[in-house]
Amino acid sequence: MHSLGAKSYLTDDEIELQRMARRFMENEVAAATPEMEATGMLSMELMREMGRLGLLGTFFPEKYGGGGFTITSRAIVSEEMARINAGLDISIFADIVLFARAIARHGTEEQKQKYLEPVLRGEKIGSMAITEPKGGSDALSARSQARRDGDDYIVNGHKIFITNSPVADFILVIARTDGKDREINGGTWFILERGVDGLSTSKPFEKLGMKSSPTGEVFIDNVRVPAENILGEVNRGFYYLMESLDVERVLEGASNIGIAQACLDAAAKYAQERVVFGKRISQYQLIQEKIAEMATGIELSRTMLYRLMRAVEREEVVTCEAAMLKLYSSRMAVQASSDAIQIFGGNGYMEEYPVARYYRDAKHHEIGAGTTEIQKIIIAREILKQYGSA
Ligand SMILES: Cc1cc2nc3c(=O)[nH]c(=O)nc-3n(C[C@H](O)[C@H](O)[C@H](O)COP(=O)(O)OP(=O)(O)OC[C@H]3O[C@@H](n4cnc5c(N)ncnc54)[C@H](O)[C@@H]3O)c2cc1C
């Protein structure tokens, strides 16, 4: 399936993980997908099974139930998962990369035991709430506020488009505790547990795609948060957010590659079966061009993804390259899904075939975790810095 042998960029243990993940996705996740797409809900049975097999916590310390791999393992699992169900993949992205990784990086020992371990076992679901109705691109202008009251904080706010929030057991919320609007200093993360007074979530939104993943609103109305539910240092929250964005963007590349690979797998097979004007359509050069473009985009994105994952492992700063990968691979996946539909003709427009879902799902990655426009702004800013100030 992959033109470049995985051996050129993965270790033997990672190849083994990739094989195991692929088997699980092609069997269990594929079987559960129609129901998750129809109900818009995660399958908790599937989550627990992934927890049991170690597919959720691959890169976390074994002490907390993780697999002890490097973070590259998340890219491997994500690529395989998004190839079968990109909606499930963004839910696990929110659960594992956004929520659990933040707890692992900034949490106390008690917080890790209480929140990280059940999430890695697939028994509890986490989510991370940054975006507000007034806008997501400008995260520093978050209006949610928290004020101190004795040893506690009282948090108020409204978050929107939050992956997993309709079902999440734990919601990590950022609110301003100090500083002026748009100041990087003065944001704090609070770990809110479902059931606390004043916390409620909406029902899932009806969405264009990523239907297996529930997305909703979070309403925070005078929620009293004890000191032990503050994540990391007070007022450092926006710094933590900015520090984690690069890795999140690199990892979104894996999801784009998974979607595009699914498009190529489906389209190449279909093109070799479909006969029009007495010939298989794979023999027509206009169809071959689409296959060639898809395969090239996938290969370029995958090569960059694993190069950046190794750089992330070495803790190198990859701000510009992460934005480039997100920009390029999300556009590539949208184009691949459009071309796949074209190759399928009328069948491509029908829900009976999976390419319509790939098309809807791919569009998300030009918006979530920073839009295409924001990636271009970051790339231009970083490049212009190299030539003096922008
Ligand atoms: C399915 C889904 C799941 C999501 N999950 C989460 C989640 O789990 N947690 C979370 O916090 N958020 C989540 N989001 C929110 C997502 O991160 C935001 O939608 C995204 O950051 C864009 O913010 P916005 O929607 O407010 O758009 P806006 O910020 O209002 O932007 C609107 C348009 O203006 C453009 N724009 C903005 N600023 C500029 C500029 N300076 N120059 C040029 N153009 C500009 C944008 O690129 C965009 O095209 C999710 C979104 C979706 C769709």
Kindly report the CATH number assigned to the domain that includes residue 219. Answer: 2.40.110.10
Q: Whose CA is nearest to atom 23 of ligand 1?
A: 136
Are residues 349 and 260 part of one domain? yes
**CA dist., res. 21 & res. 367, Å (int):** 27
Which of these three, 176, 203, 235, is where a domain ends?
A: 235
pLDDT reported for residue 6: 78
Are residues 212 and 103 part of one domain? no
Q: Let me know if 193 is a catalytic residue.
A: no
pLDDT of the chain, 390 residues: tens digit per residue: 555 567 789 999 999 999 999 999 999 999 999 999 999 999 999 999 999 999 999 999 999 999 999 999 999 999 999 999 999 999 999 999 999 999 999 999 999 999 999 999 999 999 999 999 998 899 999 999 999 999 999 999 999 999 999 999 999 999 999 999 999 999 999 999 999 999 999 999 999 999 999 999 999 999 999 999 999 999 999 999 999 999 999 999 999 999 999 999 999 999 999 999 999 999 999 999 999 999 999 999 999 999 999 999 999 999 999 999 999 999 999 999 999 999 999 999 999 999 999 999 999 999 998 999 999 999 999 999 999 976
Q: What is the CATH number of the domain that holds 379?
A: 1.20.140.10
Are residues 252 and 373 part of one domain? yes
- Residue 93 inside a domain? The answer is yes
89, 128, 161, 174, best to mutate for ligand 1 pocket (most atoms within 8 Å of CB) = 161
Is the shortest distance between the CB of 135 and ligand 1 below 6 Å? yes
Q: How many structural domains comprise the chain? A: 3
Are residues 110 and 178 part of one domain? no
- Residue 338 inside a domain? The answer is yes
Is the shortest distance between the CB of 162 and ligand 1 below 6 Å? yes
For 148, the domain range is 128-235
- Residue 390 inside a domain? The answer is no
- Residue 287 inside a domain? The answer is yes
Whole-model pTM: value is 0.97
- Residue 309 inside a domain? The answer is yes
Are residues 215 and 316 part of one domain? no
Residue 314: Cβ-neighbour burial (10 angstroms; 0-12, 13-18, 19+): exposed
Are residues 332 and 212 part of one domain? no
Which of these three, 235, 269, 302, is where a domain ends?
A: 235
Q: Where are the alpha helices (DSSP H) in the chain?
A: 12-24, 30-39, 44-53, 72-84, 86-92, 101-106, 109-111, 117-120, 237-273, 285-313, 319-344, 355-364, 372-385
Who contacts 34 (Cβ-Cβ below 8 Å, separation ≥6)?
A: none
Which of these three, 87, 107, 124, is where a domain ends?
A: 124
Are residues 104 and 28 part of one domain? yes
Helix (H) or strand (E) holding 209: none
pLDDT reported for residue 8: 85
Are residues 197 and 168 part of one domain? yes
- Among 37, 117, 217, 248, the one annotated catalytic: 248
